[in-house]
Structure 1
Amino acid sequence: MNSADPTLNRKLLVLTLGGTIAMTHTGASVSGVVPNLTGADLVAAVPGLREVAEIVVEDFRQMPGASLTINDIVSLVQRLAQADHEGFHGVVVTQGTDTLEETAYLTDLYYQGSAPVVFTGAMRTAAAAGADGPANLLASAQTAVASEVRGMGVLVVLSDEIHAARHVRKMHTTSTGAFASPQTGPVGYVEEGNPHVRGILAPVPPVPRPSSQLPRVELVTATLGSDGLLLDGLEDKLDGLVIAAFGVGHVPESWCARLEALADRMPVVLASRIGAGPILNSTYAFPGSESDLRSRGLIGAGTLDPYKARLLLGALLAAGSSRSEIAKAFRERH
């Protein structure tokens, strides 16, 4: 780079959490891979990355995506808040794809900074033929420092597609094109090293970060012939509950009395296990239908999938939100 190169004036922070993008064989007797590459290793493997911006790398965590916790993400948001005051033009977070759709969404709920934050990962290990991690990291860096994405909330970039954290889902277990936004499609693409966005996402108000013990919120999925046994005793164990219902918000009739009793004790949110499309209000009227469950006190999740609904409910409970405030938030945040 020369003195006239504009990238000299751009600083990018790369925070690594582990995951497949950082996994290789250890050379030990085990045949599988583990997350043992550092952030410096990841950056060194990407041709052209240091031409995008001045890169600062921090190894924040080093674990599989499945082992990350909500407390890890709260700590990550605290680091992002610091980075926003340290002059960084953007931040890229690398992690395992198992939980990426959830961690990115939770970060989007809490993050209040102006510097763009982009999550990315890989579906193939660093040692695999055709490893996708380097290309994903480069596209994410190019997106994170672009002025076009400022104010769009937390983003997810894989396979040159730019997704909003609030919409993205992992749709395949192994494909390099595993991530999609079934409600909306991508918000943009990376083409020839430049991000192109299709309009601006309306901002949503952040949720205050938790300052005390996290509430316990779990998810129960409706399945054919289930008698609702997993609902028994939850009133003494949980602070909130999400139901992943059939279709537009239906459960077996045998669940109704249990859910009504639980909704008297805690917020119970009704989401769809389908993962795309809304919970309805009043189309159906049989016992266990969406209108019946709403009349029993359940809160509709709108178009939020059950996993994001669980995170939003937990964040709202941690912020001390009332039942009416929780219902209002679900109407607004989908």
Structure 2
Amino acid sequence: MTEQHALPTVLVVSLGGTIAMTPSKEDDGAARPTLTAEDLLKAVPQLSNIHATVTTWTFANKPGASLSLDDLADLAEQLQAMDADGAFDGVVVTQGTDTLEETAYLLSLLYEGQAPLVVTGAMRASHLAGADGPANVLAAVTVAVSPRARGLGVLVVFNDQVFEAARIRKTHSTSTGAFAAPDTGPLGVVVEGNLRLLVTPAHKPLPLAACMTQPARVGLYVATLGDDGFLLAPLLEQVDGMVMATFGVGHVPDSWMPLLEGAAQRIPIVFASRTGGGSTLTGMYGFPGSEKTMLAAGLIGAGHLDAYKARILLTVLLRCGRDRDEIRRTFAPAGTTAEGRG
């Protein structure tokens, strides 16, 4: 007698975004999020070829730009509980691409489940020629159900490529191939209905789930040519933490240093590269405003984390009540750099 095994279950959670948008019937025909998670699955008949039971949950229906950190924290907490109860073997989250690189990283900090969590979306709404949502959903479900994805943390699947949440960047405003990982490339690909891993992540986020109970406001300021710091000064007075998107490997105008050094005594300040690829350094340059002088002034290097993800990590740490030393220690392995180890 042949032993029967239950099919694995994949939960598809919809947050809205372009993938869920249709033309408005009220006025100008512009796209707005209207489709439910169940609607998204109806556009992917090939899901029947995947040996899995696919269920749905419409958690929200917002543009990506309108999602909040509390929305994602609530989602992560509920998915964590569902994973602990064995409610699914994998989960797919669909959302708007405007903030996907940030929300995927935030979920990677808050979701500790072993079941794969895969984030995807679409660059073209369902009513447009060449809509990419159905293909991305199919690929994401394929990855979520794969045993090879188990234990890899939160992944992003787009255009049949699989990315680590900490490395993904949106690099184009309209292309269906908008997502890339400048430093590492994709972790794998979906080919002929299967996940093929090419590499595995070098680092996993530290568990920070269920601790975002304290308010915290974290700013992001971009260094630009000729900025005299006039606008930076009042901003530093109004935030609980700051991320500086700096030139190159971690450089700012030398005139900013007294301001930053003073502020770093009050609040944690992290510096990341505004380039979106590569790492901040620790001692290559030593002129005023260089990475070496900023570290000496008490700032924290983000390493390979880009400025957007550095802001997410700093916000979560502050909302979890972590002190300056804990923040420094967390950023070192998260950014794969040596700053503050020990």
Contact residue 235 and residue 265 of structure 1 kept, 8 A: no
1:9 corresponds to: 7
Distance 2:4 2:185 in 1: 34
8-17 or 198-207: bigger deviation = 198-207
Residues 65/147 of structure 1: CA separation in 2 closer, same or farther (3 Å cut): same
313-322 or 187-196: bigger deviation = 313-322
Distance 1:262 1:37 in 2: 46
Contact residue 239 and residue 266 of structure 1 kept, 8 A: yes
Distance 1:200 1:122 in 2: 25
Distance 1:174 1:36 in 2: 21
Deviations 1:50-103 (A, max 9, x none): 332211111101010000010010011012112212331100000000000000
Contact residue 208 and residue 319 of structure 1 kept, 8 A: no
Report deviation, 1:157: 0.2
Structure 1's unaligned 5+ residue stretches are none
Distance 1:4 1:168 in 2: 41
1:282 corresponds to: 283
Coordinate RMSD, CA, aligned: 1.5
**Residue 143 of structure 2 corresponds to residue 165 of structure 1:** no
TM norm structure 1: 0.96
Deviations 1:134-181 (A, max 9, x none): 000000000001000111110000100000101101000000000001
Report deviation, 1:4: 8.8
1:61 corresponds to: 60
Output the amino acid matched with 1:250: H
3-state SS of the aligned residue for 2:322? coil
Report deviation, 1:124: 0.3
**Residue 84 of structure 2 corresponds to residue 81 of structure 1:** no
Report deviation, 1:283: 1.2
Distance 1:262 1:50 in 2: 57
1:148 corresponds to: 148
Structure 2's unaligned 5+ residue stretches are 336-342
3-state SS of the aligned residue for 2:289? coil
Report deviation, 1:212: 2.0
Distance 1:199 1:188 in 2: 7
Distance 1:14 1:4 in 2: 28
Output the amino acid matched with 1:199: V
2:107 corresponds to: 107
Query: Of the candidates 30, 37, 40, which is equivalent to residue 39 of structure 1?
Result: 37
1:291 corresponds to: 292
Residues 57/4 of structure 1: CA separation in 2 closer, same or farther (3 Å cut): farther
2:69 corresponds to: 70
**Residue 27 of structure 2 corresponds to residue 26 of structure 1:** no
Deviations 1:264-285 (A, max 9, x none): 1000001110011111111111
1:51 corresponds to: 49
Output the amino acid matched with 1:179: F
Identity of aligned residues (%): 50
3-state SS of the aligned residue for 2:196? strand
93-102 or 223-232: bigger deviation = 223-232
Contact residue 183 and residue 276 of structure 1 kept, 8 A: yes
Report deviation, 1:48: 1.6
1:234 corresponds to: 235
Residues 170/211 of structure 1: CA separation in 2 closer, same or farther (3 Å cut): closer
1:194 corresponds to: 194
Output the amino acid matched with 2:18: T
Contact residue 280 and residue 290 of structure 1 kept, 8 A: yes
133-142 or 31-40: bigger deviation = 31-40
Residues 186/4 of structure 1: CA separation in 2 closer, same or farther (3 Å cut): farther
Output the amino acid matched with 2:165: A
Contact residue 249 and residue 280 of structure 1 kept, 8 A: yes
Number of residue pairs aligned between Structure 1 and Structure 2: 331
TM norm structure 2: 0.93
1:139 corresponds to: 139
1:273 corresponds to: 274
Output the amino acid matched with 1:241: M
Distance 1:305 1:120 in 2: 20
2:313 corresponds to: 312
Output the amino acid matched with 1:81: Q
Distance 1:68 1:5 in 2: 42
Contact residue 121 and residue 133 of structure 1 kept, 8 A: yes
3-state SS of the aligned residue for 1:264? coil
Output the amino acid matched with 1:18: G
1:121 corresponds to: 121
2:91 corresponds to: 91
Report deviation, 1:230: 2.2
1:130 corresponds to: 130
Output the amino acid matched with 1:141: V
Residues 5/191 of structure 1: CA separation in 2 closer, same or farther (3 Å cut): farther
3-state SS of the aligned residue for 1:242? strand
3-state SS of the aligned residue for 1:233? helix
